[in-house]
Amino acid sequence: MLVYIIDGFNLIHKVSFLRKSSRPHSDLIHYIKNKKLTGSKNNKVIIVFDGGYNSQAKSISQGFEVVFSQQISADEVIKNKLAKIKNKRQVVVVSDDREIRDNAKAQRAISCRIDDFIKVKREKQTRENQSSEKDISYTLQHEITQELRKIWLKDGE
C-alpha cells in the first residue's frame, strides 16, 4: 500500500478547470478519484490544503483524508504527516514546492512534481484506453445490448 500526500492547492493551480471552479476542494477530490491518479483504492490518500475547514470537501472525501492546515502552512502539515509515517519508502509526496520535495527525499520518501504526477497517470490511462478499445459499430453494440437484455431480463418471453 502506498501513501500519497498531496499538496492540494499546488494540484488545483495546475489543472485549468479546477482553477476556475467554484468548488475547487470538492472538484479536486472528484478529479483524483475519476482519473485514478493514486492507483489502487487500497492506497491511502492525504490531501492537504492551506487555510480553514471546508465542510463540503470533507463530506465527499470518502476514502481520502482531507486536512486543512488552519493556522499553520500546508507545507508544515505535509512535513508533519510524513514524519509520523514509519515506512517512508511507501510514501509519495506530490508538490511543486522544492522545500517539501527535498524534505521528502531526505526522509527517503518518493517526491513527485504535480506535472509529473498528472502526466504519468494520463499517459498510462491513454495507453490502457488505446489497448482496450474495440472498434465495433453502433448497430453491433445495439444488437449485443438487446441480446443481453433478453438473456438477463427475460425480455421477449
Confidence category of residue 138, pLDDT binned at 50, 70, 90 = low
Q: Under 8 Å CB-to-CB from 61, ≥6 apart: which residues?
A: 29, 47
Q: Is the dihedral of CA 130, 134, 135, 139 positive or negative?
A: negative
Domain boundaries, the chain: 3-153
Cα 117 to Cα 38: distance, rounded to the nearest angstrom = 9
Give pLDDT tens digits for 6-27. 999 999 999 989 989 888 888 9
Structure confidence at residue 97 (pLDDT) = 95
Structure confidence at residue 140 (pLDDT) = 73
For the cut 60, the answer to whether the pLDDT of residue 125 exceeds it is no
Give burial (CB, 10 Å; 0-12/13-18/19+) of 38.
Answer: buried
Largest interatomic CA distance in the chain: 68
Confidence category of residue 156, pLDDT binned at 50, 70, 90 = low
**Alpha-carbon separation of residue 14 from 57, 110, 119, 123, 151 (angstroms):** 19, 20, 11, 17, 47
CATH number for the domain formed by residue range(s) 3-153: 3.40.50
